[in-house]
Amino acid sequence: MADGPRRKAAQGTGIGGFLLAPTTSTHMHDDQREFLSNLLATASPSGFETPAQRVWVDYVERFADEVRTDDYGNAIAVYDGGDGPELAVSGHADEIGFVVSAINTDGYLHLSPVGGSDRSVSKARQVHVHTADGPVNGVIGQAAIHVRDKDDTEYDDIEEMTVDIGAGDEDEARDLVDIGDPVTFAQTPSPLRGSLLTARGLDNRVGVWVAAETLCRAAERGAESTVYAVSTVQEEVGLSGAKMVGYDLDPDAAVAVDVTHASDHPEFPGNKHNEIALGDGPVVARGSTNHTAVVDAVRDAADDAGIDVQLQATGIRTGTDADAFYTSRSGIPSLNLGLPNRYMHTPAEVVNTEDLDAAADLLAAFAVRAAGRDSFAIDL
């Protein structure tokens, strides 16, 4: 890898005119903010991740030794650190959404869910139908409160909802939209107070941002471990991309960076116990999937670097790409590193960008510290 600066200055205002305000984080540089802005402005429902993967690849090519993709669009950037262990740090590029399943005679679109879409927050939302000719604006219909049965508190299933694109009939709708076109909420990312940010699809653009930044920071620090930054596809529909990548790379250890539920808000159910709060640092998961040697190594790196981390118990599964990595081939020592997130799988998720920055610093420190290891195997 060539010596010298590895970053380029940010240009423009980000895709769609959205750029995180400079006050969003006390640590993010302009190009890092623009990268996150561009990821959030680019729709990538499961199975249709190519536009977001292009944004990711364009960024990591600035400082990676190699960038490659596979047949399904998983993207891998490589920093060749020498003789140390091979570490994969991944996020998933896909987001939840919908897909057009039918078009009725009046020109309205019927939907099927893509991933864990929430029917309780889906009606009366502006959407984009992503067609071969570009996005088509639409609205998921909701009868006015004046004419609804006030005793009806049930939510319609997503398959019962329709999208109004303004078409006069079926023929006009079919001229604009094809069966199988993906649909996402037309939700604009917005900074909140301090370093908080709200957007749709933070799950898991923030994870692929951390993976890319980990690679960059490991390279800047001269880590002697090889780092693979990975942006996977189709996590929301079965961890499919991670299954492909885990088999292909077979690294010495893998860290799947994904959002996790913050409980620091009044909407969080009181019987769902955890101690996770926005701004208190990235979350190290313990139990089940999470390999004890990797857990200990990341916690030790946090201690050495003075980075605060939170802990989370995962007794059965993590629900992230780590669950696919750890059973790949003969087993990859794996960890789920969480990024606290409020209101997950809604159009208004909320994260603290300080947690993202700390996660990238932590995993870069982990890569530097791991250079002297031969493996992460448990010593029995």
Give catalytic residue positions. 235
203 in a labelled binding site: yes
Nearest residue to 254 via CA among 315, 302, 297: 297
CA distances in angstroms from 233 to 24, 27, 196, 221, 320, listed in the order given: 28, 29, 26, 29, 12
- CB of 362 within 8 A of CB of 299? no
Terminal-to-terminal C-alpha distance of the chain:
39
Nearest residue to 206 via CA among 353, 88, 16, 15: 353
Query: In angstroms, rounded to a whole number, what is the distance separating the alpha carbons of residues 216 and 360?
Result: 9
- CB of 334 within 8 A of CB of 294? yes
Cβ neighbours of 352 (radius 10 Å): 25
Q: Are strands 182-185 and 334-341 parallel, antiparallel or unpaired?
A: unpaired
345 in a labelled binding site: yes
236 in a labelled binding site: yes
Nearest residue to 2 via CA among 224, 219, 221: 219
The DSSP bridge partners found for residue 88 are 228, 254
Residue ranges for the known binding site are 92, 203, 236, 258, 345
Binding residues for Zn(2+): 92, 203, 236, 258, 345
